[in-house]
Amino acid sequence: MSGRRILVTAALPYANGHIHIGHLVEYIQTDIWVRFQNLRGHRCIYLCADDTHGTAIMIRARQEGRSEAEVIGEMQQAHVRDFAGFDIAFDNYGSTNSDENRTQCAEIWKALRDADLVHQKQVTQLFDPVEGTFLADRFVRGTCPKCEAPDQYGDSCDKCLANFSPTDLIDPRSTLSGATPEIRTADHLFVRIEQLHGFLDEWTQDGDHLQSEVANYLKGHFLGDELRDWDVSRPAPYFGFEIPDAPGHYWYVWFDAPIGYMASTHQWCQANGEDFDTWWRDPETEIHHFIGKDITYFHTLFWPAMLKTAGFNLPTKVHIHGFLTVDGRKMSKSEGTFVQASTYLEHLNPAWIRYYYASKLGPRLDDLDLNLDEFVTKVNTDLVGKVVNLASRTAKFIAGKHTAADYPDDDGLFVRGTEAGERIAAAYEACDFNTAMREVMALADAANKFVEDAAPWALKKDPDQADRLVDVCSIALNLFRQLAIYLAPVLPQLAEQTGQLLNDPITNWDQSQAPLAGTPVGEFQHMMQRVDPKQVQAMIDDSKEATPLENQLEAVEAEDTTSEEPGEDTPSPETIDENGGGDDQPAAEAPTAGCEAHQQEPLTTELCTFDDFMKVDMRVARVAQASHVEGADKLLQLVLDLGGDVRKTVFAGIKGVYQPEDLVDRLVVCCANLAPRKMRFGTSEGMVLAAGPGGDDIFLLAPDSGAVPGQRVH
Ligand SMILES: [Zn+2]
């Protein structure tokens, strides 16, 4: 395979605040994509930097009595530490306040001047006479000029949603000093981006550079009209780079931030003996930017315009994602869902959220909801229950020995896994990680069924079955390894542990295509723990208590990174009504000859109406607790979590078929509105659905992976 050369960036985090779980959606998404490309044998580098300039940093430094360099230096260290804690592996992590960036900005600036795109205009703005600085809209608050709601930001009103100019506010005041702002006029430099309108029409609408909804949005919102000149300078005082040919004027933070991608490349090239032009001028190189939807137009209009004018490669693709919500709502400091990366790491394993985000991320701009109950369920059911368990239940039986010299007959399981490989790879490539994870978990289900059926723990007890035991474990471990390779972009540590266990480091996707035979099996080392909901609660509690040193500026920034949009929709009953009405279903038939199940329990001949059916409220539930009932032969007592705060105690006649410890945390289907029944041991508040006639033939129903407690079953 002739490898592709790919340069990847994630948006530069601002040096005024710590990394939180909302930011991590993007850095983890990008890290997975980069790791995937490298695993496929391509040459892919991941570059990032701190975004350091602007008024907010300047004011913060003043308030803290420190230099800007000190403020941003400290924050950069914190960012680097947080990212490393989540296995986010940048090839270079720079700063926009670097010599490389100053030089690169000057080069692009000269190109804009040479193309005659820069001109000067006067701008009238509010000015804080105490701090001696012009005020961006978000640094001014006052009374809405339309509805007179108090304490509104300078550009819009929360109450009546009116948009206005900060000079229209009644009783405006600076959020920096509290002073009443003055109106002042200053010269600013502008880029006439309209001159590149034709190019931007073509670049945004043709080719595959943008997701289609983004291309349409740009066409409808910006490109349909004349493009407004872009204000790229700020007068002194301003923390940034002074413009070489305009003393007293500084490049606006949004001018130098994307150029920081190039500056980071310069640093990486210098450290690795690489040629910068290979990465930014050779058309063979692909450039992929990952960003959130809030900064779309900087990256899809201004940035390509700058690159085009200065003669650099244009982005191959800008990948745009939605925002994070937690339990369907905006992240909130008071509710404890505004979780800092460092707080997460104090309580939870980074692999868990890498997997959870991967299981939720698709190629579109939809917001991603972190449902905390679902988080626990997915980690415990998928990662621990389905993946890691494959190794932990089998490796111990052949630890210190070798897997079978020839890969045994597995009924085509491994081959089916290899066939899924290209589908999984295509999903990763398209940033459709959700589909990739579903494919992997379907393979995990098949592998687990194999282990259940083969029951190595039973073979272990029979010395005559020693060879069969080795075969079964060899198959299970190879199926496990295949999954670990497919999951390696998401779970790099699991891949490393798997390489150690089977003495064969995982470095390439193609390793998934052939099983290992006769490989020494190491001692099984613990790979991953289950998540205890108490740990999640402790993290939330800690986030409530934590009041990090944040000024009002950071609070504003934080609000910008989350969304007001609600979480996912649940399927509507209407979709079922169309074919669920019973009209075309032969509901009543005589028992099928030879069908034992029908003989034991004949099909019901009496029809039930759709309304009858809808009376029964069946829900997905998680078994929160399971225990024996003293004095009961058949009953287990289950406490079911039906989502939210809803818990129900149910007595189920499944003792002897299921062990309590095997039930905890698994998902079941529960009739939630069954009238409570008083029993000798207590009141049963529902019923767990199971198939089979009873006795030893009881099979609990389980929803497919992805279902979460509380969802209605239709
Ligand atoms: Zn208003």
* pLDDT confidence band for 698 (50 / 70 / 90): confident
405 Cβ contact list (under 8 Å, min separation 6) = 517, 518
* pLDDT confidence band for 30 (50 / 70 / 90): very high
Ligand 1 centroid–CA 152 distance in Å is 8
Residue 386 in this model has a pLDDT that exceeds 60: yes
Ligand 1 centroid–CA 57 distance in Å is 30
The CA radius of gyration of the chain, in Å to the nearest whole number, is 30
Ligand 1 centroid–CA 14 distance in Å is 30
CB 710 within 8 A of CB 643: yes
How much is the average pLDDT of 372-390?
97
d(CA 700, CA 670): 10
d(CA 230, CA 297): 11
Ligand 1 centroid–CA 562 distance in Å is 22
Highest mean pLDDT of the ranges 60-69, 429-438, 608-617: 429-438
- State the CB neighbour count (10 A cutoff) for residue 458: 10
How much is the average pLDDT of 449-456?
97
pLDDT the model gives residue 566: 26
User: Which residue's entry shows tokens 């471990």?
Assistant: 477
Least confident of 19-33, 142-156, 405-419, 666-680: 666-680
Where b means 16+ CB within 10 Å and e means fewer, 343-375 reads: bbbebbbbbbbbbbbbbbbbbebbbbbbbbbbb
Q: Name residues with Cβ closer than 5 Å to ligand 1, which is an ion.
A: 144, 146-147, 149, 157, 159-160, 162
Ligand 1 centroid–CA 167 distance in Å is 15
Ligand 1 centroid–CA 162 distance in Å is 6
Residue 567 in this model has a pLDDT that exceeds 80: no
Ligand 1 centroid–CA 142 distance in Å is 10
* pLDDT confidence band for 115 (50 / 70 / 90): very high
pLDDT tens for 184-224 read 999 999 999 999 999 999 999 988 999 999 999 999 989 99
Ligand 1 centroid–CA 563 distance in Å is 21
pLDDT the model gives residue 476: 98
Ligand 1 centroid–CA 147 distance in Å is 4
- Give start and end residues of each alpha helix (H) in 522-679: 533-545, 552-560, 574-580, 596-600, 610-615, 660-663
Closest CA to 486 of 475, 498, 502: 498
The CA-based angle 290-293-294, given to 5 degrees, is: 115
Residue 559 in this model has a pLDDT that exceeds 60: no
Ligand 1 centroid–CA 151 distance in Å is 10
- For the chain, what percent of residues have pLDDT higher than 90? 71
Ligand 1 centroid–CA 247 distance in Å is 40
Ligand 1 centroid–CA 125 distance in Å is 21
Closest CA to 185 of 225, 99, 113, 126: 126
d(CA 285, CA 316): 9
H/E stretch holding 292: strand 286-292
Ligand 1 centroid–CA 15 distance in Å is 32
Ligand 1 centroid–CA 150 distance in Å is 8
pLDDT the model gives residue 656: 79
Ligand 1 centroid–CA 181 distance in Å is 20
- For the chain, what percent of residues have pLDDT higher than 70? 92
Least confident of 324-328, 587-591, 689-693: 587-591
pLDDT the model gives residue 605: 66
Ligand 1 centroid–CA 172 distance in Å is 14
pLDDT tens for 342-354 read 999 999 999 999 9
Closest CA to 154 of 36, 274, 162: 162
* pLDDT confidence band for 665 (50 / 70 / 90): confident
